[in-house]
Chain A
Amino acid sequence: MPEQTALLSWIIRKAIRYLISGFIVLVIVFLVPRLMPGDPVRNLVGEDVWLSPATLQALRSEMGLDLPLNEQFIHYLLDLFSLNLGYSYHLNGPVLNILLGRIPWTLLLIGTSILAGACFGVIAGALTGWNPERWWARTLTGSSLLISSIPPYILGLAFLACFSFYLHLFPIKGLYDTPDIFSIIYHLTLPVLVLTLFYASRNLLIMRGSVISERGLLYPQCARALGIPRQIILKRHVAKNALLPVLTLIALDFGFLFSGALFIEIVFSLQGMGSLIYDAILLRDIPVLTGSFLVISVFVILANLSVDLISVLIDPRVRMGRE
């Protein structure tokens, strides 16, 4: 019973902490785009179009930019309660709809890569960590080291140049040519491959590292001494405990899902959250920026909370030794 109440109070304390940070982030996410120099109204039209000062003023008040900041903040909070993320004048639509249009594609691209990278990385990492001296373990470790040391956009560029430009095996841009499943798969293969390699190699290295350190602890040695076969030790005992750091990372990956793989999107000309945010920065599209940052922050908070929960539930040592 005391352990349960302790757990409960721990969850509550964490939740409160995240709520407070969340609110502060809310304020930051509101302020930063509005404090940016540069005029959002100017970017509503092309560079060679002239707007009279009267038009500029009219547009500015339509966009609600001439209100004092505290009033804008109140509007912002009130809108949030009704799930209204604002209206983008640059993209001509409610921010929520714009986000909902992009999020599924980002989810598809990055979510698939995270999952594939997680599966491959964890399994391969556990195996290489358990047998680090074998030649295939060394090769895998070496190549993972190499891949995770390459900046992702360079990897993407290399793949694009090699497989699309020179070998003409894959298309050069877009999420699909015609909206059917084959076209989508065809177009997404290369970007997903690049991202998966990236995640998988990082996960492999970390899993390997933690399996190696777990291996050296007392309890697997005891199990070995007791005669339990190595494979079973790996699967039943060590892997579960070694999983923790990787799981932490994977959960965090999901949190940062929507920061989007901006560079992959640029290299492969894909339409996702990353380029939405990048364009919004260049155009000073304040509602879209605030909305996107908010969505990202919410996911990161959820991800962190789940990481804390997972670590407490999986590893009994954490439960005991926690503050």
Chain B
Amino acid sequence: MVKLSRLSMVVFTLLFLFIAVTVNCSAAEDKVLKIATVNDIKSPSLLGDYNTIIFSQISNPTLFQMNSNGKIIGQVVDSFEVSPDNTVWTFNIRPELYWSDRKPVTGEDIAYSINMYGKYGKSGRWLGEAITDTKVDGNKVILTLNKPYTNLDREFATMYGIVPKHVWEKIDNPVNFTSEGPYVGCGPFYMDKIDLTAGKIIFKKNPYWKGDAPYYDQVDISWFKNKDAASEALESGAMDTYYEYSSSYPYAAIDSLMSTGNFELLEKPTSGMTFLGFNMNKTPVSDINIRKAIASAINYPELVDISILGHGSVPNEGFVPTIMDGYVKTPQLKYSVDDAKKILADAGYKDSDNNGIVEGDDGKDIVLNFLSRSSFSREAELIQEYLKAAGLGSEIRSVEDNTWYELKDNYDYDITLDRTTPAGMIMHASLGTCYFDSRRTGGGVLHNVDDPVFLNLCDEILATRDQSKLTTYAQELQNYYAENLPGIALYWKNDVTPYNKAIKGWYSNPIYGILNQYTFTGVKPVV
């Protein structure tokens, strides 16, 4: 008796499972573009969740955007004017933009969005302090600022997506508002559902979009908790492409992906770099010779091979990479252990006890306090080896991000590994200055340069929109970087975006990759 009921239970369960499997294996879709990512959404908040904001580029575009060459061009804004003293900015809003609930996008929406960020936002608070007056005149929005700002267009190319006033003005504390959707948007798609349990965000075609009609009816962005699962989803054909903010498709997985024969790679250089930073005020690293020696001791070609599997190149002197608007060419960095040793010897560092490590001013072996973020443990290992070959000892402390923020804010290191993101590179006075200016603390920046020459240069860049002056300043900045070495880029890498061969029309910009309007209006299957 017992055996029979147990048997039937087993059979029943198996049957149930079988049905479940078959039901899910046969799926009919109408035209859906599927994107895999590892940027997970933690809470369904259009304005409050970091990664939701990134994905909202499709549905709630920003005023400006970057084109694939890194130039700032208009998106919601058609054109703009700036007063000669840089305190009054006039934006002309593009006509023919409609919200997904049929209402047109007006200057009121823009004015509302900007002021909302200024009042409630976290990263946008500075707007609240900076903007003294907002005027809307038809399709013009005029902002008056409390002091000269020369780069508002750059600031508005990231993060501050516009939202409809008629929906959001009723909401208390919009930045903390959570809802699974749908959210009204004015891009080619609008955000229909944020499904945390299924792990995906669903965008549906905006019926009132007047631009080029997208081929797809729906865009699904699914996030995975580990990269291998995402890669596997791509390889098995469950996903059409891969996206990761400020990052490339994992280089190690590329070979496996290409061997399926179904994919092509979109490879573009990026200004996101891993770099070695120095504590400029602490001996021995405060000595320029030590930094120059380190710059020669790093085996750049090997790093390009091992860290990024050849998808990049050896960087040039200076900090600004080729892809950036304002790049100034400098000679390539050279790897030479002999040069490194010579620089140390010429500067007076000797290895009197012949143990392979030179001694510092205090007569003791130089052992550098090497603080590394745990994500760079491989690079740290390699660099430790390179330094040792040149005669410099180091001790690695590998910590997770938050601990790293605290330690580096207290300058508790000699050398450290950090990374830049394309958005970070254009912040402040652009060209990577936000990583070094000691007046801007916090987050992922090193704020390790307090040299008045550098700080003045930053201020001068911030004070003008004159293109010819800016070109001169860019040159001075690059030279400063090359001569003073506050940070050394380990390699210049390419961001690789794989996409299904059967689909064409991909467009990638340095900051948001394929998440831009050109991609989503342009992608379609190859016929």
Whether B17 and A266, one on each chain, are in contact in the complex, defined by CB atoms closer than 8 angstroms, is no
Tell whether, in the assembled complex, residue B444 and residue A47 are in contact, meaning their CB atoms are under 8 Å apart. yes
The answer to the question of B442 belonging to the interface, with a C-beta cut-off of 8 Å to chain A, is yes
Contact B177 A173 (CB under 8 A): no
Whether B122 and A45, one on each chain, are in contact in the complex, defined by CB atoms closer than 8 angstroms, is yes
Instruction: Name B43's closest neighbour in chain A (CB-CB).
Output: A91
Contact A266 B177 (CB under 8 A): no
Assess whether A37 is in contact with B402, with CB atoms less than 8 Å apart: yes
Indicate if A215 sits at the interface (CB-CB under 8 A).
no
Tell me how far the C-beta of B54 lies from the nearest C-beta in chain A, rounded to whole angstroms.
Answer: 8
Whether the Cβ atoms of B443 and A49 lie closer than 8 Å is yes
Could you tell me if A182 and B23 are in contact, using CB atoms closer than 8 angstroms? yes
Cα-based distance from A93 to B224 in the complex (angstroms): 23
Assembled-state Cα–Cα distance A170/B21 (Å):
8
Of B103-111, B195-203, B462-470, B513-521, which binds chain A?
B195-203
Query: Known: A48-B443, A48-B444. Is A174-B20 also a contact (CB below 8 A)?
Result: no
A173 close to B222 (CB less than 8 A)? yes
Q: How far is the CB of A173 from chain B (nearest CB, A)?
A: 5
Interface residues of A in 46-70 (CB under 8 A from B): 46-56, 58-59
Interchain CB contact under 8 A, A59 and B20: no
Whether B198 and A175, one on each chain, are in contact in the complex, defined by CB atoms closer than 8 angstroms, is: yes
Q: Which residue of B lies closest to A105 (CB)?
A: B197
Interface centre among B176, B226, B229, B232 (most CB of A within 10 A): B229
Q: Which of A13-21, A77-85, A206-214, A267-275 participates in binding chain B?
A: A267-275
Complex Cα distance A55/B128, Å? 11
Q: Is there a chain A Cβ closer than 8 Å to B74's Cβ?
A: no
CA distance A279 to B94 in the complex (A): 40
Contact: A168 with B198, CB < 8 Å?
no
- Taking the closest CB of chain A, its distance from the CB of B431, in whole angstroms, is 15
Contact of A55 among B122, B159, B434 (CB under 8 A): B122
Chain B CB within 10 A, most for which of A46, A92, A176, A271: A46
Contact of A92 (CB < 8 Å), options: B19, B177, B200 = B177
In contact, B225 and A265 (Cβ under 8 angstroms)? yes
Per a CB cutoff under 8 Å, which of A50, A168, A269 touches B236?
A168
Task: Report the bound CA distance from A209 to B260 in whole Å.
Answer: 51
Is there contact, CB below 8 Å, between B225 and A173? yes
Tell me the minimal C-beta distance from B358 to chain A in angstroms.
34
Interface residues on B, range: 35 or more
- B164 contacts partner chain A, Cβ-Cβ < 8 Å: no
A301 to B137, CA, bound (A): 65
B12 at interface, CB cutoff 8 A: no
Contact residue among A49, A164, A175, A182 (Cβ-Cβ distance under 8 Å from B232): A164
A271-B123 in contact (CB<8A): no
CB contacts (< 8 Å) of B176 on chain A: these are 89, 92
In the complex where A173-B199, A183-B24 touch, is A50 in contact with B434 (Cβ < 8 A)?
yes
- The reply to whether B402 and A185 contact each other, CB–CB distance below 8 Å, is no
Q: Which of B24, B178, B442 contacts A93 (CB 8 A)?
A: B178
CB-defined contacts of B428 to chain A, threshold 8 Å = 50
Q: Is A179 in contact with chain B by the CB < 8 A criterion?
A: yes
Closest chain B residue to A53, Cβ basis: B441
The CA-CA distance from A165 to B43 in the complex, in Å, is 29
Residues from chain B with Cβ under 8 Å of A101 in the complex: 196
- Of all chain A residues, which has the CB nearest B511? A48
Q: Choose, from B45-53, B262-270, B298-306, the stretch at the interface.
A: B45-53
Is B112 located at the chain interface by the 8 A CB criterion? no
Partner of B24 from A51, A55, A171 at Cβ < 8 Å: A171
Interface residues of A in 96-113 (CB under 8 A from B): 98, 101, 105
CB distance from B134 to the nearest CB of A (A): 20
**CB-based contact B224/A173 at 8 Å:** yes
- Known contacts A47-B421, A48-B424; A93/B222 CB under 8 A: no
- Complex: A54 Cα to B122 Cα, angstroms: 11
- Closest partner residue, chain A, to B50 (CB atom): A46
Q: Write out the residue numbers on chain B whose beta carbons fall within 8 Å of the beta carbon of A164.
A: 232
B238 in complex: contacting residue of A98, A172, A275, CB < 8 Å: A172
Spell out B's residues near A (CB within 8 Å): 16-17, 19-21, 23-24, 42-43, 45, 48-50, 122-123, 125-126, 129, 159, 176-178, 195-200, 222-226, 229, 232-233, 236, 238, 246, 400-403, 405-406, 421, 423-424, 427-428, 434, 440-445
Enumerate 15 A-B pairs (CB-CB under 8 Å) in ascending A order: A38-B406, A45-B123, A55-B126, A92-B177, A101-B196, A171-B24, A172-B233, A173-B199, A174-B198, A183-B20, A185-B20, A186-B20, A186-B21, A269-B225, A284-B402
- Per CB-CB distance, the 3 closest pairs between chain A and chain B, nearest first, are A38-B402, A48-B424, A269-B225
- Other 17 A-B pairs with CB < 8 A, given A37-B406, A48-B443, A284-B402: A38-B405, A44-B122, A48-B421, A49-B443, A50-B427, A50-B440, A51-B122, A51-B443, A52-B126, A93-B178, A174-B199, A183-B20, A183-B24, A189-B20, A269-B199, A282-B400, A282-B401
